[in-house]
Amino acid sequence: MNNKSILEIPDSELEWSFVRSSGPGGQNVNRTNSCAILRWNYLESASLQQFSPTSNILEKLKSIATIKGDIFVRCQSFRDQERNKEECRLKLKVLMEKVFFQPKKRVATKPTHGSKKRRLNSKKLHSAKKGLRQRKFENE
């Protein structure tokens, strides 16, 4: 995939909150708010409206968002807020890439003459093998 993201979400649309983490950090976890929670409302997003998304993309976003259109991403993998913030941004980017991903259309092809010949030949050989297993009774 290319380096440029399909949808650029400005930092002004992201809301951050920090809570106590249950991740690594030992007793320090009990004193610091290192868990980062990212909130992004796709219904109020100007960056998404300039993109003019299709209804299929909006349906995908509805399945991962709240009724009000908020998408929450929570990260508590690291001991400090900044690394958890970066992890949240990365998770949101990956999530948006999955939502906007459109698979390539399959181009139907016809079997070649040689492949048809090989298939029919293998069927004939298989039939002959089965025929040899049958008992042939002669009329006496």
* pLDDT tens digits along 69-84: 888 999 988 888 899 9
Which pLDDT score, from 0 to 100, does residue 125 have? 96
What is the tens place of the pLDDT at every residue in 88-98? Answer: 999 998 888 88
Compute the mean pLDDT over every residue in the chain, rounded to the nearest whole number: 83
Beta strands (DSSP E) in 27-84 are: 35-41, 70-75
Write down the pTM of the prediction. 0.64
- Whether residue 77 contacts residue 84, with contact meaning beta carbons closer than 8 Å, is answered with yes
Mean pLDDT along residues 109-136: 93
Q: Residue 30: what residue type?
A: N
**CATH topology (fold) of 12-100:** Double Stranded RNA Binding Domain (3.30.160)
Q: Checking phi first, is residue 3 left (phi over 0); if not, alpha (psi -120 to 50) or beta?
A: alpha
Tell whether the model's pLDDT for residue 5 goes beyond 60: no
Q: How confident is the model at residue 124 (pLDDT cuts 50, 70, 90)?
A: very high
